[in-house]
Each structure stands twice: as C-alpha cells, then as structure tokens.
Structure 1
Amino acid sequence: MRADLERRALGYGDAERTLAVKAGAALWEAAFRGLEVTGAPMLTPQLLAHAGRMLALRREALFVLDVRAGRLHLLPAGWWNVYGRSLDPREWIYQVDLGSPSGTLTRRVAGAGVAHAVLTPARGEPWRAVPITRDAALWAAIEDALRQETRFKRAKLLGVDSGTAAPSREDLGEMLSDGGIVVLPGESTRAGLPNQVQAARIGVADIRPDPADGLVTTRVQARDELLAAMGVPRELITGATGPAAREAYRRFAALAIEPAARVLAQALSTALETGVTLSTAALMAADVPARARALKGLKDAGLSLAEAREVARI
C-alpha cells in the first residue's frame, strides 16, 4: 500500500503509460530478452525482459532469491524500500512487493537474499537509483494536455440566412458538445462569438481540435530528450532506415544495453556467489559486416591482427 501511494505521488504510473516510455522500454525488453546467459540457468528470457524494463525506467532492478523444492528461483520485485544502518549491503533490509494473482505480497528480506542491480545510483545513496520516470512526468503532463484537446468532438457549423437571433454562448456550447452538424442563423456571426462561428455566415465551418503549435513542438522535444535519457536513439523510434538506423542500433546495443547487462551480471554474481555473464553477442550479430570492414581497415592501417580484433571487438 505504501509503495503504491509513493508511485502515485511521484507520477510513475502515468509516466509509464505514455507512448515514448512504452516504446523505449519495449526496446530494452527485447534487447535483454536476447542476452546470452551463463551461470544463472534460472534467469529466463521473461525475467531478462523484466530486468530490461526496470533498468530502462527505474534504472535499477531487484530479484528476490527464493528456494522451492530444492531449486533456486528469482522472483522479480515490482517495488521495494531499503532500510538499515550498516555499511554492508548484505545486512540491509529490503521491504519488497511481489506480484501474485490475488494481489501484492510484501516481504522483508535481508540484503544477502536479493540481487539488486543499480544502474545510475543517486548521489551519496548507492542503495537506490534516480528513475527516468521522474523526468517522464513532464511528458505525461504534455500528453494529458493533448488528450484534453482531442476529446473535443468534431462538429460542423452550417450557417443559414434566417434572420433569427443568435444562440447564447452557453447554448452554443451545448450544441457543439454533441458533435455532428449544428445549424445556426445568420445573426450568429455577430461580434463576441468564436471565429469559427463568424466564418459560418452563409456556408459550413469546421470545429475541430486545434492544439497550440508550441504544445506539439514541446511534445516532440520532450520525447527526444526522454529517449536520450533512456539511452535510446530517436532513429529507432522514428522509423529511420539505412546507415542511420544501423548506427543507431549499434549505439543502443553498445552504449546502453551492454553496460547495463554488466551491472546486472555483477549483481547476480554477488547474490548467487558464482560467476554470471550476460553476453550481447547475439545482439551484435547484425553488426558483423561493419566490424569486418573495420578490421580490414585497421589491418591496412598497420595494426596487427590481434590489435585490430581487439579494437573492432571481434
């Protein structure tokens, strides 16, 4: 209950439902689902996708170690709080929310019983991250403003020269709220009524959503900044093709996914007390031709084969 109230207070729920956040998180989920796991057979593609989404949005992911029928399982945490006065993370206490078909279960688990990967720690507080959803709250507010604009039903004003009196503003508002075609007498063009009404002197005028240009521009800028904060090049969202799309994919895999995978692997290795690796080799398969060309160029420039392979990461 406390965690749910905190989520609402910080606006996480609304932010995570916006299109930009969904698109960016979906890319992280897909990339993590394709990681090659060594040393942690219980880490399924579904759990990897969950970790990818959490690292994309919250910049941290938490799994609770759970032993059932003699087998170790990883339970994905939806929300958690950390307590403790010790400097040893294994002695901290985690209050964790775990999902179940009938609701949320809350457990208190020692730090030694969790795998906690923190991608971007808060300054001076290594037990928590700075979530991207705080910045995404601005995007959510912009989306809500645009949604309010588009809720206005489209209508057509049909002006006729009847010589009768114009409706009041209140009556006109009620007439337009239902949409469709609204017939107005010619006197409706008198001063004080909206421009669209004045345009319908004799003829038809459209009444439709008309969001401010500044709001639309701000939405695009906020989207690009939000995606950049998530490590997602905008070209992967806007449908770019050719070299631009390939370069964007390389940047995403090498600069966002690979470092995050290393952080998660380190957290799992510490918790499971065994070496865990998460390889992005499968994600880089599409980049092999470009790396081969880079290898040849480096060799032609005078580097040895070993040096060229190290630089080209082959």
Structure 2
Amino acid sequence: MFRKFLLMLAGIVSIAFVVTLLSAGFGFRLLVSRRLDRLHRAITRAASGVERVRVEPSRGDDELGDIIQAYDALVAREERHEAELRGAHEKLDEQSRRDPLTGAFNRRHVQEHIHEVVDASGSALALFDIDHFKRINDRHGHGVGDEVLVEVVRRIGRVVRKQDLFARWGGEEFLLCVGEVGDGGLDRLARRLLACLDSEPVMTSAGPLVVTSSIGLVAFPLRTGAGAHAWADAVTVADWGLYRAKQSGRDCAVVVDVVDVQDAAAGGAAVESVPIGGGVLSVVPHVVRSVQASANPVLPA
C-alpha cells in the first residue's frame, strides 16, 4: 500500500515537474525544478525499495514546501513504524528462546548457540536435574515446585559466566556448557555446581526445602580416535552420567571420561559402554561428591 502510494505520488510530481518547466520563468523554473527533482528522486528510490530518504528542510510556505514537508513526515512515520516492528520482532525472538517460568534459555537457544561455547582449550558439558522433584510436587504442589525451579536457575545464574551457556533442558532438567575448563576442570565444576544447590535450603511458600541434584559431565566437544562427535552425542553421554549419579545415591556428579579401550584396560580402569547415535563409546566414569564449596564463579575469569 505504501509503495503504491509512492508510485502514484512520483507520477504526480513528474507531471508537476514538466508543467513547471513549461509555464514558469527561467529563474523560478531552476529553483523549483531542483526541489521537484530532489523530491521525485527520493520518492522513486523509496517506491523501488532502494532506500527511504527525506528530501530537505522546507523552504518557504509555498505549496511545494508543503508537499515536501508532507512527504518527509510520511517517511518519518514509516521509519518509526519499521523500528517498532523490528523491536517487536526482536522481543518475540528473545521470548521464543526463553523458558517463560524461570527466564533461562531453552532447548532451541542451545541448539542454535552451543557451537559458540566450544573453545580450542576444551569445554565441558553438564546435564543435571533436581533430585526427587516429583516428590516436591506431590507433597507441596506444583506451585512450590515452580518456586524451586526458579530458585535453582537464580543460583546457577549467579555462578556461571556470561560466555557460558545455561538452559532449562526440559522439566526439572538443565544443561550447562562451559568453555575453557582446563585440567581437572570437570571435577571442579561438578563440586561447585553441587555446592551451589545444596549449600543452603531453598526458601518456598511451604517453608525451607533441602534441594540437591544429580549431574553428568563430559568433555566437550566429544572426541575419540574417529574424530569429533556431534554435540548431541555429548548430551547423550552426559545424560548417561546423570543417571549413573542417580544410581550412586543422588546429590553427586558422575564425570564421564571417553577412553581408548586398550589404554584404559592397561591402566586397570573399569571400562563401560555408552550407546550413541553412531555406535558405542568406551568410557570410564567416576563419582564426585559435594564439599560445600563457596559460590565463586564456576571457573576463574
């Protein structure tokens, strides 16, 4: 509609331009024709979709000045309208990437941004959930369960860095991808995450509740002798570690080291197998317990 209007206006200006040249004196024709020409070029470029520009500040109170003012006002209105549309689109896009309850990022955001966290010095991927969360909902109601979820996100949000990727993966399950963990970083990360949640009770409308978590961690990106695996394989391995943590008594983490079978057997390690999309991985898991560490940043700056 706006473009059709501009095309019609461009035609009118073209006719006015010709009439002016034919009927006016030379000096007046030159002054007016320049303004008409600028107006015509601006309208034509806007109508063709090249760009939308304003013409000039109005000079005098003549009819041509009124037309230029009206056109510039129309351009300004369309610019404001487009800015509002862009803002609304950006807001909707942000909302589509956030969990509406906790404000944490969601699975879609992870899928689009997880590769940004991968660093040459090594990263870590953790998958964890809240222990006995169903029991909290059954005993105290889903409203209290929601309060626990919100508090968990708040606590984790205090200790992760801006460049880390933290998201609600689904239900009471969360995913955290941390870059630059360094040597021994998986165990250190596990202890700090555990302490972040169980260091003090969660205050709810039903009273204070002790909240713990079970965590599975793996180095990321996942690499074997065959090369790098898809990030979804790393999630599968971390998920395996999470359920191993459940089997180990909860309130703990299982760090999963992907190994070469022969090297691990030679070292006396107990090698286990984890099914992934492309086959089976050989791993050596070990359990990490909470030590009530202080809530410093997950990793040094």
What's the TM-score bracket when you normalise by the shorter of the two chains?
under 0.3
Higher-Rg member (1/2): 2
**TM-score (ref. length: structure 1):** 0.23
